[in-house]
A = this chain, B = another copy of it.
Amino acid sequence: VTDRLAAQLAFLAEADRLKSVLRASTLNDASRRENSAEHSWHVMLYAAVLADQAPPGVDVGRVLRMLLIHDLVEIDVGDTPIHAQGAVSHGSSALLAREQDAADRLFGLLPPDQAAAFRALWDEFEAAQTPDAVYAKSIDRVQPVMQNLASGGGTWVDYGVTRDQLESRVGTKVTRALPRVWAHLAPALDRWFAKA
């Protein structure tokens, strides 16, 4: 029991570092960049509140657990902004390999049974195939859109994003599980990009 508890507490202490991983998006008031720990909390709140928008078959409780751990690998890898087109871009094989190593190290701090369970949940999120993972991914993509609308453009300004790029990089993912949310946001998005 003591060894098990020591491993769990070591993992929880290491997880604290996610609070120092900065994302490209800011808070709604644009006062500073958001970190990946508070982002994780916020998307969990999105998942709970928008539960009645979730497609049939989604288990929101599982989605909450998925979102709780979805960004932990960023402790080693950092956040990769979706609109940044650098050497290591979002979804590239180089990034995926680094994330796998990070998952090995971080979940490996836990007792083996928990390490396996957390890793399976993270793998499911990354694969984005099951209803729970698709809903979780849609939630994870729509929250930064809300932040950008509130803060005056945010990463759309920073990376010179067009309305078409937003649609292909983000809209196609959000609409997989949340078509009505995306349709609801469309007029505000059209207005913002028309002015930009």
Partner of A45, one of B12, B52, B61, B150: B12
Residues of chain B lying within 8 A (CB to CB) of residue A166 = none
Contact (A27, B19) CB under 8 Å given A12-B45, A44-B68, A48-B65 = yes
A64 within 8 A of B: yes
Q: Which residues of B contact A68 (CB under 8 A)?
A: 41, 44-45, 48, 64
- Least CB distance, A49 to chain B, in whole angstroms: 5
Neighbouring B residues of A16 by C-beta, 8 Å: 27-29, 42, 147, 150
User: Chain A 180-195, CB within 8 Å of chain B: the 1/0 string?
Assistant: 1100100000000000
- Within the oligomer, what is the number of copies of this chain? 2
Scan residues 61-77 of chain A and give those whose CB is less than 8 A from a CB of chain B. 61, 64-65, 68-69
For A, the interface residue count at a CB cutoff of 8 angstroms equals: 49
User: In the bound complex, what is the Cα–Cα distance between A50 and B41 (angstroms)?
Assistant: 18
Judged by DSSP, the binding face of A is helix
Chain B residues with CB under 8 A of A104: none
List of B residues within 8 angstroms of A46 by Cβ: 12
A–B Cβ pairs within 8 angstroms, 11 of them = A11-B49, A12-B42, A12-B45, A12-B143, A16-B29, A17-B29, A18-B38, A19-B34, A37-B37, A48-B68, A64-B68
